[in-house]
């Protein structure tokens, strides 16, 4: 090897070290993001170190998630990797499957059995301590377990369904479990989930609303009772951004507007804002168009529907509820929406204060498994 070859190797090694150092420098010094608009979720923050968390492995696991979420120019790297993966025929990128007919499907990531048991125990404990509340729980299966025909041939969504059944059989018998898997599965050839986003569509939420009506005993509205308005044909959702898969057709977003709609008010309690619409149409100009429903997620929302004779409903929810709740405004006088990821109040006190007798817990199964905030249900706040 002559000296020029050695020199070129030294130069390449130095450039590589400079590149690694620059990436490390930027990761350390750039401000950390709290929320990802493209993925519509809170990003992991630097975990607090403790000897116990380090020994148990929780600290290293959380730190790895933190570094993944906060890595500099993450979306650019994801796009590059996904483009390479697609060229070589790979059907998975960053936890998202490239399915058939242009569907992107979020991979179901199972957490430890003990974490799931803790969440069920929390719900059962809350039920025992609040016997005056009639409780319903709707855990919505995600597209990966419902749209079996859209999955890559080597993927199965069976595990999510197994855990759904485990939760159902572990709940206190006094809690009404609303099983929406059969109705969604029977409609899987319809657009009940977005192709590029992890949420269900308004049509999927509509079928689940009809199923809830059978459990709660009210008469649901039919298709012909709504004006169905298409807001856009150009929606690229969270899975499109997260996966990096490109050259896919966009989604449409529909609103189901009751033909005989009552006047209502929507109050964002902690923000001290009030409006007469459940829809923020200005958000159709944004990247995350799903936030047209209630302008995204908020700690506490109160809806006064004008139905003086109706019951009051408390909904503990994730973002799947945002396109679901509008169907309920024809059946309740007041609806309180609590998102435990942001709400710092006491849920039992809230129900008692407003004399609420019916409660719905509504999560998609992926969020229910991954997000620990449901455990805040039994936390006593001052």
Domain boundaries, the chain: 3-101, 109-378
The pLDDT tens digits for 86-106 are 555 578 988 999 999 999 999
**pLDDT (mean) for 162-190:** 97
The pLDDT mean for the chain works out to 88
In the numeric block, which tokens belong to residue 240?
A: 């499109």
Higher pLDDT, 247 or 160: 160
What's the half-sphere exposure (Cβ side, CA atoms, 13 Å) at 339?
20
Strands 265-268 and 300-304: antiparallel
| pTM of this prediction exceeds 0.75 | yes
Among the listed residues 175, 109, 176, the one whose alpha carbon sits nearest the alpha carbon of residue 144: 109
The pLDDT tens digits for 14-44 are 777 776 666 666 666 666 666 665 555 566 7
Would you mind telling me the total number of residues written for the chain in this entry? Answer: 382
Task: Label residue 84 by pLDDT band (50, 70, 90).
Answer: low
The pLDDT value recorded for residue 279 is: 97
Task: Label residue 263 by pLDDT band (50, 70, 90).
Answer: confident
Q: How far apart are CA 137 and CA 160, in angstroms?
A: 17
In the numeric block, which tokens belong to residue 158?
A: 């069976």
The pLDDT value recorded for residue 29 is: 67
The pLDDT value recorded for residue 111 is: 81
For the chain, what is the HEC assignment? Answer: CCHHHHHHHHHHHHHHHHHHHHHHHHHHHCCCCCEECCCCEECCCCCCCCHHHHHHCHHHHHHHHHHHHHCCCHHHHHHHHHHHHHHCCCCEECCEEECHHHCEEECCCCCCHHHHHHHHHHHHHHHHHCCCCEEEEEEECCHHHHCHHHCCCCCCCHHHHHHHHHHHHHCCCCCEECCCHHHHHHCCCCCCECCCCCCECHHHHHHHHHHHHHHHCCCCCCHHHEEEEEEEEEECCHHHHHHCCCCCCCEEEEEEEECCCCCCEEEECCCCEEECCCECHHHHHCCCHHHHECCCCCCEEEEECCCCCCEEEEEEECHHHHHCHHHHHHCEEEEEEECCCCCCCCHHHHHHHCCCCEEEEEEEHHHHHHCHHHHHHHCCCC
In the numeric block, which tokens belong to residue 163?
A: 């855990």
Q: How far apart are CA 107 and CA 85, in angstroms?
A: 16
The pLDDT value recorded for residue 49 is: 74
The pLDDT value recorded for residue 40 is: 54
Cβ proximity of 159 and 366 under 8 Å:
no
Distance (Å) of CA 327 to CA 134, 177, 206, 208, 300: 20, 19, 7, 10, 18
Residue 1 has pLDDT above 70, yes or no: no
Residue 232 has pLDDT above 80, yes or no: yes
The pLDDT tens digits for 53-71 are 777 777 777 767 766 666 5
* Percent of residues, the chain, with pLDDT higher than 70: 83
Q: How far apart are CA 282 and CA 301, in angstroms?
A: 19
In the numeric block, which tokens belong to residue 30?
A: 């750039």
With both helix axes pointing from N to C terminus, report the angle between 74-87 and 58-70 in degrees, rounded to the nearest 10: 90
């Amino acid at each position: 090897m002559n000296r020029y070859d050695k020199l070129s190797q030294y130069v390449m090694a130095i450039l590589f070290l400079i590149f690694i150092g620059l990436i490390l420098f930027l990761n350390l010094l750039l401000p950390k993001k709290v929320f990802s608009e493209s993925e519509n979720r809170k990003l992991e923050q630097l975990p607090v170190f403790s000897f116990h968390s380090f020994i148990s492995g929780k600290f290293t696991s959380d730190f790895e998630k933190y570094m993944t979420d906060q890595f500099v120019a993450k979306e650019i790297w994801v796009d590059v990797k996904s483009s390479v993966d697609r060229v070589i025929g790979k059907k998975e990128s960053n936890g998202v499957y490239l399915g058939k007919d242009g569907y992107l499907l979020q991979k179901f990531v199972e957490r430890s059995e003990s974490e799931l048991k803790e969440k069920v125990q929390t719900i059962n404990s809350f039920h025992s301590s609040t016997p005056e509340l009639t409780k319903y729980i709707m855990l919505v299966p995600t597209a990966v377990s419902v749209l079996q025909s859209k999955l890559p041939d080597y993927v199965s969504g069976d595990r999510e369904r197994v855990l759904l059944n485990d939760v159902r059989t572990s709940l206190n018998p006094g809690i009404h479990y609303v099983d929406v898997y059969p109705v969604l599965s029977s409609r899987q050839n319809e657009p009940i989930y977005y192709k590029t986003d992890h949420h269900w569509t308004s049509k999927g939420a509509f079928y689940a609303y009809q199923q809830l009506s059978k459990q709660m005993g009210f008469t649901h509205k039919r298709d012909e009772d709504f004006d169905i308005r298409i807001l856009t044909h150009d929606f690229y959702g969270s899975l499109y951004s997260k996966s990096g898969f490109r050259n896919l057709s966009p989604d449409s977003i529909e609103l189901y507007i009751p033909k005989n709609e009552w006047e209502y008010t929507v109050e964002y309690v902690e923000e001290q804002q009030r409006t007469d619409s459940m829809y923020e149409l200005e958000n159709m100009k944004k990247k995350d168009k799903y936030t047209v429903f209630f302008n995204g997620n908020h700690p506490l929302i109160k809806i006064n529907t004008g139905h003086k004779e109706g019951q009051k409903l408390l909904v503990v929810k994730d973002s799947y509820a945002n396109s679901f709740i509008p169907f309920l405004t024809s059946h309740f006088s007041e609806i309180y929406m609590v998102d435990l990821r942001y709400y710092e109040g006491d849920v039992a006190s809230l129900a008692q204060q407003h004399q609420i007798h019916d409660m719905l817990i509504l999560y998609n199964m992926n969020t229910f498994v991954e997000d620990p905030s449901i455990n805040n249900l039994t936390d006593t706040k001052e």
